[in-house]
Amino acid sequence: MAKKEFMEDPKLEELANAVIKENMMDWLNPIKIKFLFVVPEISRTVHGRCIRPSGELKHFGKFDVLIEFSHKIWQSISDDTRKLLMLHELLHITIQKAKKDGEEDKVVLAPHDVNDFYTIISKHGVEWFREYKDIVAATYEMQGAEKDRISL
């Protein structure tokens, strides 16, 4: 198994800011989000993920959410597909309102659900995801059931 490395790239934050603005996701502006590439990849079938940091990571990293992308696949996809992958990961971030006075609102991660995909599909259709899966499958020489496991 190849050793994974982590790489920051300011272009990821720039893209996220553009996607937030374009999709009117202003509720994300106060949330501290860090972005990383995982080199060469997160896994063969997962190429983006949104993570809530543990207490130690949050303390030392000073962020609420970490979004990672597989560098190998990121290099192979179009700018439009990159925007959609970023949108998908950003849609996982929600704010749970405080239940009692004195408590703070809390950043939570929404699971994959119909609303997440509906937001993207209603605006962009599904063909982009088929093309994305074809690129991933070709990169890793996947076929059949293995190709079907490619997800976001």
Domain that holds residue 64: 5-148
d(CA 10, CA 3): 23
Find the angle CA(128)-CA(129)-CA(134) to the nearest 5 degrees.
100
Give the tokens for residue 70. Answer: 């597989």
d(CA 71, CA 101): 43
pLDDT value for 114: 53
pLDDT value for 33: 95
d(CA 129, CA 102): 43
What's the structural domain count of the chain? 1
At residue 57, the 3 state secondary structure works out as helix
Query: Averaged in consecutive runs of 10 residues, what is the pLDDT profile of the chain (152 residues)?
Result: 89 97 92 95 92 83 92 95 94 84 80 68 82 88 85 76
CB-based contacts of 139, cutoff 8 Å, min separation 6 = 72, 73, 76
Tabulate helix, strand, coil % of the chain (nearest 5).
45, 20, 35
Structure-token match 């501290």, residue found: 32
Residue 9: name the closest of 88, 67, 54 by CA: 67
Q: Report the CATH number that the domain containing residue 119 is assigned in CATH.
A: 3.30.2010.10
β-bridge pairing 65-70 and 33-39: parallel
